[in-house]
Amino acid sequence: MIGGLNVRDTPRLAAAALALLLAVGAIGCASGPEGPVHPAEPEDPVLYKQRMRELVISLSRYARSRNPRFLVIPQNGTELLTVDGRLDSSPALDYIQAIDGVGREDLFYGYTGDNRETPAEAVRYLLPYLQLALDHELTVMVIDYCRQHQNIDDSYRRNRRLGFISFAAPRRNLTVIPAYPDPPFAEHTGAVETLAQARNFLFLINPGAFTGKNAFLSALGRTGYDLLVIDTFVDGPKGLEWLEPEDIRSLKQKAGGARRLVISYLSIGEAESYRYYWDRSWDRNRDGHPDPGAPSWLAGENPNWQGNYKVRYWDAQWQAILFGTEDSYLDRIVALGFDGVYLDIVDAFEFFEQRSP
């Protein structure tokens, strides 16, 4: 359906209506689980931000219709907090109300390279957006990439002073539980029922370094972090396998027995060739370019992350993979009992904005 017209039944009228809609920059196509989706690439680069906002809002509304306490935390793309992405613009209140926190990588370490201090001009650019998040009672979660003890200490100290919770990751591929500091920064024995109560978190989404699921779960269970951000999969004898509801229940207890939050990682701006939804025919020779017959929403491979492909995230078919059916990614996450999702590649709009003429 386009603008209320059935294209198959009224091709000429529908074509005229579509041309008119394109002329005014307002495409309205088949609706997803919540609200409209936009399969055609926006003519105005500014709309790439809005399309991502719409996706996050739709995903949040859908998840909360199934679990009203479900947490939604987008990482990076903090420009989405304002209507047009600039600090002098009005807050994007519909987006802010749809999320519970914001994640930000490389705030103090990692922006130009792991274990390197982020340039002061980048920090000055990012901080006002994060302060805006705090002003609207959103939790700010910072991931700095550093491994020297003095840098780790500095990262935690600076983030805490600003009211952020943080994680100093020694490896960018997020494969380990850090040995330092021990115990974890700001560890405590109290229960954590809400995101605002969390004082620290662990980000570990690549469990391949562990000998199996039991070793992975056991290692996490011995930690005292308030919040865990993990993947929904672990390496099993047949490759990647979904975690089970009982696994998530076990992780919701700290080492001392108090409640904590367990959040699932979910990439919404890139497709990953190692996920259950991937079809090998989309890039059979693995050259990074979608093959003929691949979905129209699939774009080229991210040169910095093998197996990760940019997607036209506003497309209805991609959104149907993410949420809206029993077998979709988000629906499975909710069914497993996770407390929420940590949305990655929210800043995918930058890729498309840079390609726009």
CA distance 333 to 229: 13
* pLDDT in single tens digits along all 357 residues of the chain: 222 323 223 332 233 333 333 333 333 333 344 443 445 677 677 799 999 999 999 999 999 999 999 999 999 999 999 999 999 999 999 999 999 999 999 999 999 999 999 999 999 999 999 999 999 999 999 999 999 999 999 999 999 999 999 999 999 999 999 999 999 999 999 999 999 999 999 999 999 889 889 999 999 999 999 999 999 999 877 778 899 999 999 999 999 999 999 999 999 999 999 999 999 999 999 999 999 999 999 999 999 999 999 999 999 999 999 999 999 999 999 999 999 999 999 999 999 998 876
CA distance 294 to 281: 7
Q: Among 104, 111, 113, which residue's Cα sits nearest to residue 80?
A: 104
CA distance 30 to 8: 14
Q: Is the peptide bond before 237 cis (omega within 30 degrees of 0)?
A: no
pLDDT of residue 237: 74
CA distance 222 to 137: 31
Q: Which residues of 158-196 are buried (b: 16+ CB within 10 A; e: fewer)?
A: bbeeeebbbbbbbeeebebbbeeeeebbbbbeeebeebe
| Per CATH, domain 44-269+313-355 is 3.40.50 | no
CA distance 192 to 201: 11
Reported pTM: 0.88
Q: Which residues of 26-48 are buried (b: 16+ CB within 10 A; e: fewer)?
A: ebebeebbbebbbbebbeeeebb
How would you class 199 by CB atoms within 10 Å of its CB: exposed for 0-12, middle for 13-18, buried for 19 or more? Answer: middle
